[in-house]
Amino acid sequence: MSINKVMVIGAGQMGAGIAQVFAQAGLSVIINDLDQGALDKGIAGIKKRLERAVGKDKISETEKNETLDRLAGTTDMNDASDCDLVVEAVVENMDVKTKVFKRLDEIMPEHAILASNTSSLPITEIAAATNRPSQVIGMHFMNPVPVMKLVEIIRAIQTSDDTYQAIEDLTKKINKSPVEVEDFPGFVSNRILMPMINEAIYTVHEGVASPEDVDTVMKLGMNHPMGPLTLADFIGLDTCLYIMEVLHEGFGDSKYRPCPLLRKYVKAGWLGKKSGRGFYSYE
């Protein structure tokens, strides 16, 4: 099956990046958001990143203009009616996502594939909310999307081989590296990353070392490009807590219990970089 026209739902930090990489790879892209302000901000961000790439001689002025010509914005989800694929990147909330998928199932042509960029929610449950579960799949991009090479492709229990193959082919076409993953809590990326971040928070909570020293150990000692607490601030501490809760509930194993200090920070509204304060201050 050939995928030529895509709708990306949600113009936030992930959706805008996903729309950009599709448009740069030559696909026709419609980006949708409920909120006109968020849509404008997402598209402005794409323009800014492309202009920066021209400034650094990474792409030509013509490539930038052609990419922008392939990109359109809308607040009307009905515009997905002639798309071959949709990639959903709205808030990490099962009720919101299943509502979006039910609606898309009604709008989209029969052959279309419905993908979710969820970082932790079960694709199997999202698929079950539609009448085409074999055409539902997880397409988990990493942040920042234009930079990071990986796409975790998550197979729901219902996903067909044809759907999987179409998404693997597309991932290669947009110059990313696919990894096939079964639908289990946290997939592979967050099942390994989040417990490490949570343990780093326990290390601070128990007074073993300061956030700066924990990050230094992992950077200089393990060659990680970024310390786990800096990374947690970058991802958002609310998101980290949410994913730990998904792991804890999904596996029923106390090794995934979220650190009380993480809960306290989230309750205080210290969500990391986006709120100006997390383990570090961004004022």
Residue numbers annotated as active site: 119, 140, 152, 190
One-letter amino acid of 46: I
Nearest distance from residue 66's CB to ligand NAI, in Å? 25
Give the number of other Cβ atoms within 10 Å of residue 62's Cβ: 9
One-letter amino acid of 190: N
- Of the pair 32, 206, the CB lying nearest ligand NAI is at 32
Token pair in block for residue 53: 């790439």
Residue of 171, 124, 122 whose CA lies nearest to 150: 171
- Of the pair 12, 68, the CB lying nearest ligand NAI is at 12
- Of the pair 141, 256, the CB lying nearest ligand NAI is at 141
List strands edge to edge, sheet with 136-141: 71-74, 28-32, 5-9, 85-88, 113-116, 136-141, 150-155, 177-182
Number of residue whose CB is nearest ligand NAI: 12
- The enclosing H or E element of 85 equals strand 85-88
Binding region for ligand NAI (CB under 6 A):
9-15, 32-35, 38, 89-92, 96, 100, 117-119, 143, 235
Give the number of other Cβ atoms within 10 Å of residue 140's Cβ: 23
Q: Beta strand 85-88 with 5-9: parallel, antiparallel or unpaired? A: parallel
- Of the pair 34, 261, the CB lying nearest ligand NAI is at 34
* Chain position carrying tokens 């709120």: 275
| Residue numbering of the annotated binding site for NAD(+) | 10-15, 33, 92, 97, 119, 143, 274
Burial class from Cβ neighbours inside 10 Å (0-12, 13-18, 19+) for residue 264 reads: exposed
Q: CA–CA separation, 139 vs 123, rounded Å?
A: 10
Nearest distance from residue 276's CB to ligand NAI, in Å? 16
| Residue numbering of the annotated binding site | 10-15, 33, 92, 97, 119, 143, 274
Residue of 184, 69, 76, 81 whose CA lies nearest to 123: 184
Q: CA–CA separation, 269 vs 243, rounded Å?
A: 17
Q: CA–CA separation, 253 vs 231, rounded Å?
A: 24
- Of the pair 99, 205, the CB lying nearest ligand NAI is at 99
